[in-house]
Amino acid sequence: MRSLFAVLLLAVTPVTAQVVGQNQQPGGGGAYTVSVTSKLVIEAVNIKDKQGKSITGLTAKDFTVTEDGVAQTVKICEYQELPVAPDAPATKPARENITLYNRLAITQIAPETAGNVKYKDKRLISIYFDLTSMPPGDKLRALEAAQKFVRTQMTSVDLVSIMRYGGASVDVLQDFTADHDRLLSIMQTLIVGENQQIDDTSSDASSSDTGAAFGQDNGEFNLFNTDRQLAALQTAAKMLGRLSEKKVLIYFASGLQLHGVDNQAQLHATVDDAIRSGVSFWPIDARGLVAQAPLGDATQGSPGSAAMYNGTAALAVTTRLQQSQDTLFTLAGDTGGKALLDYNDLTRGITQAQQSVQSYYILGYYTSNAALDGRFRRIKITVNSQLDAKLDFRQGYYAGKVFGKFTVADKERQLEDALMLGDPVTELTIALELNYFQLNRAEYFVPLVVKIPGSELALAKKGGAQHTLIDFILEVKDDLGNGQTVQNMRDNVNLKLTDATAVELAKRPVEYDTGFTLLPGKYSIKFLARDDETGRIGTFQTTFTIPNLNKELTRVPLSSVVLSGQRVDLKDAIYNASKEKERLKEEAANPLVQNGQKLIPSVTRVFSKSRDLFVYLQAYEQGLPAVEPLIAFVSFYQGQTKVFETQPMEVASGMTNSLKTMPVRFSIGLNGLAPGDYDCQITVIDPTAQKSSFWQAPITLVP
């Protein structure tokens, strides 16, 4: 494994050092205190007979519960009787007393005390509005559906809470209540009251530029809307997890589409926390049944290319809609819910969730395994007197962790467990970019760049100097069936900070890079970073493919395209290589290092107008006796409109290796372009062989 890594610091604003631990108070008199804690585990169990009817009248003695094969003593056994038939309509509808609020108050989901089932014989329905994903028309449809449910479909056992995500935080606007007027008042205020729009990142992106050799600020991480939406859902599930009863979360959104190199860890973490909290997601696509014109509606111009004739444009429209619904379908299926897609009566999605929660038992026991090791505990429940009963319950849970009490061995095991277990951790935000460059006919060099917001790291003072410790661990597996590990890396970086760089850490990301070689094929990668001062971990996992460029005959073989907003001197990076000679050798293999400067991939592809955009890629002409000139240029599009294009550049010089590698470099000034979203396209033409290749990716320009 070829490994080169650098950590670049970025920052600006004071950071308060955090002290971990506490000294013993004097005068203790030699007395010792023994503290014993116990973990109460709650399980919601559906029990039905052969005819599908709920079995009633069971007590704690009728259940056998084991955890990892060890019998547990059931301390709580409560039967929740929830009718599914709607209440008889009132003879005379009650007069609504709706109040419009100047500003909606923020509350919280009130927890229940240990061993107390707070909402006995009540059905808990939480209605969650994702305002960042819905345009105004979809917001109105979602709110009208929720109002219709409250007015006409709520039963006497239903309690409803209202939650909202506006881009900054998850707000609980109403704890569980049966007060129709209160619920309708909040929904009406959401329609006419405060302005909730898609999260605006201009305040972060427009922060002052120090002009130092640092990258973009933390504002670029706000562009990861999907990860933040999933993280917000994870937060909502944890809030609802304070209650022992079964909960359904109605998720109103206009689709949820993953972008770029997707961090699948956040999706898995959201699902896992929902299962742990006893929450099932019931997503509702607020767009309803959508009829789309094959070439787009009147809000955009005609494609004006071959795509409108060969079906590519129509296929792209359909694919985009399907992809925006795939994540909703996954969230529902993995948590026991059901997604309502392509249906105009949005209230039906709420009533389906309502009818899914029928009578069930709540069982509680204090686990005999008190170890806070973060491992998975498998649960098995059987009914002693009903051998043919059908049981539906959570199959297990992950134990908690207390990082402050970890030994060195415990910390090492925590990383190993986080790497091996299927339960990812997303306490740190991670953005990652993978590229590939052909070294010879068999091997490809794969540089990897990771960004972590510096504001999420803790600072500690040891020996009078500020520093922060970061652990990194990487595993690459063959994704073609056998799942063998083909590359791995383990590293610990101690970043010693001066007063100036420590101040900047609050506003700038930390950047880490490494590299390794792979053969062509399909792989999966899992990358972990841990703040060694607090134990907070971030996980990034995805799949990627290294193509076999030797088989590319109809187009010009190209490497990955690297977009960058900065070059840095290698001396500005903090290296932790064991041997200087090995580090220099690895630099020679990295095509992003030229003349003592390193090109830093953007990762997030957010660029400032005040800086040039650097583009780097390689073309290959293997098999030719000598290199032949290529023509390359860069174009920017908004929709189907070309707004900028560089002059065609002739690439006539290449390497003398067997691949006849042709480096292609651009430096593009962005001052003449307005801030916004663009599609960046790179075109490479081989006039001699009459071949060409295209590469395109979305980018964002900020002031």
Q: What is the pLDDT of residues 115-174, one digit of tens each?
A: 667 888 889 999 999 988 888 889 999 999 999 999 988 988 999 999 998 876 788 999
Q: Please give the average per-residue pLDDT across 325-335, as a whole number.
A: 87
Higher pLDDT, 593 or 26: 593
Side-chain half-sphere exposure of 437, counting CA atoms within 13 A: 22
Higher pLDDT, 600 or 558: 558
Per-residue pLDDT at 186: 93
Is residue 595 within 8 A of residue 663, CB to CB? The reply is no
CA distances (Å), 662 to each of 397, 591, 650, 686, in order? 53, 12, 11, 12
Q: Please give the average per-residue pLDDT across 198-207, as a whole number.
A: 34
Instruction: Give residue-wise pLDDT tens across range 635-649.
Output: 999 877 889 999 999
pLDDT band at 492 (very low <50, low <70, confident <90, very high): confident
pLDDT band at 249 (very low <50, low <70, confident <90, very high): very high
Chain centroid to Cα 129, Å, comes to 19
Q: Please give the average per-residue pLDDT across 515-523, as a whole number.
A: 90
**CATH 3.40.50.410 fits domain 123-196+222-358:** yes
pLDDT band at 576 (very low <50, low <70, confident <90, very high): very low
Position 63: which residue type?
F
Please check the confidence at residue 411 and state whether its pLDDT lies above 80: no
Instruction: Give residue-wise pLDDT tens across range 456-486.
Output: 777 766 655 677 788 888 888 887 656 788 8
Q: How far apart are CA 635 and CA 642, in angstroms?
A: 7
Per-residue pLDDT at 600: 82
Lowest-pLDDT range of 67-71, 260-264, 621-625: 260-264
Q: Please give the average per-residue pLDDT across 325-354, as a whole number.
A: 89
Model-level pTM greater than 0.85? no
How high is the mean pLDDT of the chain?
77
Please check the confidence at residue 584 and state whether its pLDDT lies above 70: no
pLDDT band at 296 (very low <50, low <70, confident <90, very high): low
CA distances (Å), 109 to each of 148, 150, 189, 271, in order? 24, 19, 20, 20
Unique residue bearing structure tokens 């277990």 = 421
Domain locations in the chain? 40-80+363-398, 123-196+222-358
Side-chain half-sphere exposure of 689, counting CA atoms within 13 A: 21
Q: Please give the average per-residue pLDDT across 494-519, as a whole number.
A: 76
Which residues are paired to 127 by β-bridges?
162, 250
